[in-house]
Amino acid sequence: MLRVTEIFASIQGETSFVGLPFAFVRLTGCNLRCRYCDTTYAYEGGEDFSLKEVVSRVELFGITRVTVTGGEPLLQPEAFRLVETFLDRGFTVLVETNGTVPLAPLDPRAVKVMDVKCPGSGEERKMLWDNFSALTPRDEVKFVVASEEDYRYAKEIIGRYCAKSSFAVLISPAFGFLAPETLAGWMVGDGLSARFQLQLHKLVWGPGARGV
């Protein structure tokens, strides 16, 4: 069984797949409490679904791209089999993870999107740095930046773990904490080897909308 907060279809708001229609499976539960978290409603609650039922609901959308997210989806052991099942059925699968759960057991066909926690999150010390060795060129690393301190931290981590790697590096301002133009200015000034991104779904539907 899987504990599920919501299953919905929307536009992918982040990652290198931004703007494409996706199905989303948001699993319940998280081992972090980031200060700027925008999905606190996924910390607890949810409903129990069988793996078969989750897959069936996603297939009804008629979209062959799915994001498995949370919370932290990989806290649920059955999430690994869910990802494998989607892949076997021909889906493009993104797995959004906070980087505190070992990624090596995840099916290598999935696109891992690892969110590296900066000091502004209050959870930066919980990262499993060995997870960088499990990333492949298909994967992505994301930084959410809430301050200049966070930006300097992200620069340091990018230099240490990402400079000689071929996976995508994404950096975005924490919504409501840092002005997008400020972050963009820092990145341009430094010639940072990362892609600036905004949360497109919040611009389209507003920051408080759920199921989008």
Q: What is the mean pLDDT of residues 19-43?
A: 96
pLDDT of residue 105: 96
Looking at residue 135, what is its pLDDT? 96
**Residue 173 backbone phi and psi in degrees, to 5:** -80, 140
Half-sphere exposure of 119 (CA within 13 A, CB side): 11
| Residue 194 backbone dihedrals phi, psi, to 5 degrees | -155, 160
Which CATH architecture best describes the domain 2-205?
Alpha-Beta Barrel (3.20)
- pLDDT for residue 202: 82
The model's pTM: 0.94
Strand bridging mode 21-27 / 2-11: antiparallel
Per residue in 131-162, pLDDT tens? 999 999 999 999 999 999 999 999 999 999 99
Task: Quote the pLDDT of residue 206.
Answer: 77
